[in-house]
Amino acid sequence: MRTFKLENNDLSIDKYHNIVLVQGDKEIAQSLERIFTTNTGEWFLNIYHGLEYASIQGKGVTDEQIQRAIITAALQDHRVREVIDIKISHNIPKRKIDIVFHCKVSTGETITVPFTIT
């Protein structure tokens, strides 16, 4: 599949003013990043798309709960075959969580998706 490349939540334009496309594993990584950075219910065309932020924010949330929510969200993309690892780093002063998600996809490749939850 090919789709528009997104950078900083906007279309990527090359030096010739053409819209840049992504495909293959880079497209899968971008698709997962979009899932992880969209709050469930936020996108009106599919209210089930995204990561359920309500289940991972607030006091007393464990890393296991965060991992379960991320895995549930990742499995929305049918090309994800196996979750390999999820690294969670809490930045308490800035009130954010940095996450690095590793999975095996239908192409047989392992992809890495870094993202931040604020």
Residue 86 maps to which CATH number? 3.10.450.40
Q: How far apart are CA 103 and CA 86, in angstroms?
A: 9
Start-to-end Cα distance in the chain: 30
pLDDT digits (tens, 9 = 90+) for 37-78: 999 999 999 999 999 999 898 888 899 999 999 999 999 999
Range of the domain at 70: 2-117
Arithmetic mean of pLDDT, 90-115: 92
Question: How many secondary structure helices (H) and strands (E) does the chain include?
Answer: 2, 7
pTM for the whole thing?
0.89
How many structural domains are present in the chain? 1
Q: Using pLDDT thresholds of 50, 70 and 90, give the confidence band for residue 15.
A: very high
